[in-house]
Structure 1
Amino acid sequence: MANTQRLLLVASPLMRHAPAFDRAAALAKAKGMALHILAFDYLEGLASAGLVNEQALAVMREGYVKQHRQWLETQAVPMRRTGLTVTTEVVWVQHALDEILIHLREQPFAMLIKALEHESWWMRAMFTPLDVQLLRECRVPLHFVRKANHALPRTILAAVDLSAPEDQYEGFNEHIISEALKLALQCNGQVELLYVHDIGAMYQDADGYGERSFFYDSSLTRTLHEAQRKAFQDLAERNGIDAEHCHLRMGDPAKVLAVFAENHDIDVVVMGRYHHRGIGGFIGSTAERVLYKLPSSALVISPEHFQG
């Protein structure tokens, strides 16, 4: 039976070929899925040109969209020659996020793929970029492509979170590992498993915080570390990850994750959008903090998608 799901590639409005095109085509081929390439156009000056009548404005807008559509088709031609089914679409719309979410609701897309747009920290502080909006709103697996040294990823890192298990989404870590293993099988890649636990944050949740000093209570530190090591080992064993591919680190998760990805030539980091229930579980989540720090691409899984 043919796979009816498709991959959705959201292309830049700048009409430039990015590594995300190569990654999307390679993944579609590996997964046996069709690929739909979607681009958005909206020029503020053209959309609100007060000196141009409506008919002339419509002609100018259609000409711009037509040019973009033709450019997308030139990108699709070599993909089709490899046997892929590729469709293209250009939409004139001011708010791209709304249109993307409509597409995702109305059609069975298995994954959204997009080039990560580089934004300065102060721009991100003043405006919410589309990438961050998607990270917060997208329910299907979201693949941000920063670079693609290999069209198909070869080294895939599953980043799990074992902290505060009482408010975790049950089975979510296993789902992240499963998605990483499935991707590795399709791409003939290798999965590495990483857990970074912030021992300081965990200590604050332990009984008696405020009565004892973290820096001098080595007994509690060892107890917490051993409990996390055991939980991580059990998680790896349940999911068939060999010990040599398991990595337990201490520190700030976002910083350690970025350094680990750089040092181990990771192609894709598979991580959860957030792991814990409640609004506090998402605000300042590792996924959002690490997105612009990672030297590699990221595949972000939503708990809502995991729960169906």
Structure 2
Amino acid sequence: MSEQSRLMLVVSPLMENSPAFDRAAALAKASGAALHIVAFDYLEGLATASMVNEQALEQMRLGYVERHRQWLEEQARPLRKIGVQVTTEVVWVERPLQEILIHLKEQPMAALIKALEYESPLSRLMFTPLDIHLLRECPVPLHFVSHVQHALPRKIVAAVDPFHCAGQYKSFNDRILHEAAKLASTCNATLDVIYAHDLSSISADEFGFDNASAFFSSGTAKTLFDAQGDAFRELAERNGIPPERQHMIMGNPTKVLSSYADAYDIDVIVMGRVGHRDIGRLIGSTVEHLLYKMPCSVWVVSPEELAE
């Protein structure tokens, strides 16, 4: 992050603090970036209050927005005292996604930071939460903060997948490692790299086999595993990752990454994502599945060629 970069922290409309405040402040301080804190307010009860006097209702809305603005300024004051350049903003809007995307287009940010809002599986089936929308559409690195042990991360893991049939994402692994290394350098944190190798996700017909049993009994599976091990080591070495920081683990990526993060007290896992049409197959496809299961915060990177 450059000294001129800016971080955007999206906060709750309920005037409540969260670990995301501490994480955003720590990252801004460590990187020398400015911090823009914005709240997209909309309270259903207040917005639809059954009052005859529309002018009085509007005054209530304006009053709430002003109180929230003052509250944000109170949170910003101690950050300014430690040298962080902070600006605050409150916007009354029912659907914040488009406003967030407009903000990011009009005010380029180095990253968007937000507390992860837990949603039950049933709720996610009924409607798509804001966090998932952001995961799919945010054009800048997106940091979902949860389970914070340290305001400034100490242990960071980058999740990569050197196996791609589409050349469109050939350099994406390097981009993920570049972003992870930059974050680790900013935080003076350790950086490990994991490749969760899951043969069960590979389609047999991609390699000219009529069925999966022929694929696995042919010895192609072992050959592929060895080849991907070589590709993973070459990728890691190309990006300056020492052998002791490289981990290739067989298994379902969701289980491998969550178990590793829990076992080694990881603060942040850096992952890639692609267009959600390819969910379940390409690099970063496990992000949506992992988001609510990880025992640490998640830093999501999108390919430059897919970002608008």
TM normalised by structure 2 equals 0.93
In structure 1, the residue corresponding to 2:202 is in which secondary structure?
helix
Matching of residue 206 in structure 1 with residue 207 in structure 2: yes
- The whole-number CA distance in structure 1 between the counterparts of 2:203 and 2:158 is 25
Q: Who is 1:9 aligned against? A: 9
Aligned match of 2:49 = 49
One-letter amino acid of the counterpart of residue 90, structure 2: V
**Is 2:172 the counterpart of 1:196?**
no
Instruction: Provide the secondary structure at the position in 2 that maps to 1:9.
Output: strand
Q: In 2, distance between residues paired with 1:143 and 1:278?
A: 18
1:87 aligned residue: 87
User: 1:83/1:211 Cα in 2 relative to 1: closer, same or farther (>3 Å)?
Assistant: closer
Residue 162 of structure 1 corresponds to which residue in structure 2?
162
Q: Matched residues in 2 for 1:98 and 1:36: separation?
A: 17
Contact 1:198/1:251 (8 A) holds in 2: yes
Matches within 5 A, 1:235-274: 235-274=235-274
Q: Could you say what secondary structure the match of 2:219 adopts?
A: helix
Q: CA deviation at 1:307?
A: 6.7
Task: Report if aligned partners of 2:209, 2:215 keep a CA contact under 8 Å in 1.
Answer: no
* CA shift digits 1:153-182 (9 cap, x unpaired): 111101001222434512110111011111
How far the C-alpha of 1:64 sits from its partner, in A, is 0.9
The letter of the residue matching 1:109 is M
In structure 1, list runs of 5 or more residues that go unmatched: none
**1:279 aligned onto 2:277:** yes
Aligned partner letter, 2:191: V
Asked whether the equivalents of residues 203 and 214 of structure 1 are also in contact (C-alpha less than 8 Å), the reply is: no
Q: Distance in 1 between matches of 2:127 and 2:281?
A: 16
User: Could you say what secondary structure the match of 1:271 adopts?
Assistant: strand
- Asked if the contact 1:41–1:92 (Cα under 8 Å) also holds between the matched residues in 2, the reply is yes
Cα gap change, 1:175/1:230 in structure 2, threshold over 3 Å: closer, same or farther?
same
Separation of aligned partners in 1, 2:203 and 2:277:
22
Superposed CA RMSD: 2.1
The answer on whether the counterparts of 2:162 and 2:235 sit within 8 Å (CA) in structure 1 is no
In structure 2, C-alpha distance between the alignment counterparts of 1:44 and 1:226, rounded to whole Å? 56
- Give deviations 1:217-262, integer Å, cap 9, x for gaps: 2722211110111100111111111111000011211221111111
Q: Matched residue of 1:151: which SS?
A: coil
Partner AA of 1:174 in structure 2: D
Question: In the alignment, what sits opposite 1:19?
Answer: 19
Residue 148 of structure 2 aligns to which amino acid in structure 1? A
Change (3 A) 1:160 1:84: same
C-alpha offsets along residues 159-215 of structure 1, whole Å, 9 cap, x if unaligned? Answer: 001222434512110111011111111111110000012112225233224174466
Q: Could you say if the C-alpha distance between residues 305 and 69 of structure 1 is closer, same or farther in structure 2, counting changes exceeding 3 Å?
A: farther
Between 1:255-264 and 1:195-204, the stretch displaced more is 195-204
Instruction: Give the match for residue 98 of structure 1.
Output: 98
Aligned residues: 304
CA 306–172 in structure 1, closer or farther in 2 if over 3 Å, else same: farther
SS in structure 1 at match of 2:226: helix
Residues 278, 177 of structure 1: alpha-carbon distance in 2 compared, 3 angstrom cutoff: same
The alpha-carbon distance between structure 1 residues 47 and 198, as it changes in their structure 2 partners (threshold 3 A), is same
Output the amino acid matched with 1:113: I
Q: Give the conservation status (yes or no) of the 8 Å contact 1:156–1:191.
A: yes
Q: Secondary structure at the match of 1:132?
A: helix
Q: Check 1:278–1:185 CA distance in 2 against 1; reply closer, same or farther (3 A cut).
A: closer
SS for the counterpart of 1:303 is coil
Corresponding position of 1:127: 127
Runs (5+) with no aligned partner, structure 2: none
CA distance in 2: counterparts of 1:141 and 1:252, whole angstroms? 25
- The alpha-carbon distance between structure 1 residues 126 and 95, as it changes in their structure 2 partners (threshold 3 A), is same
Range with greater deviation from structure 2 (184-193 or 297-306): 297-306
Post-superposition shift, 1:280? 2.3
Aligned mates of 1:114, 1:180 — CA distance in 2: 18
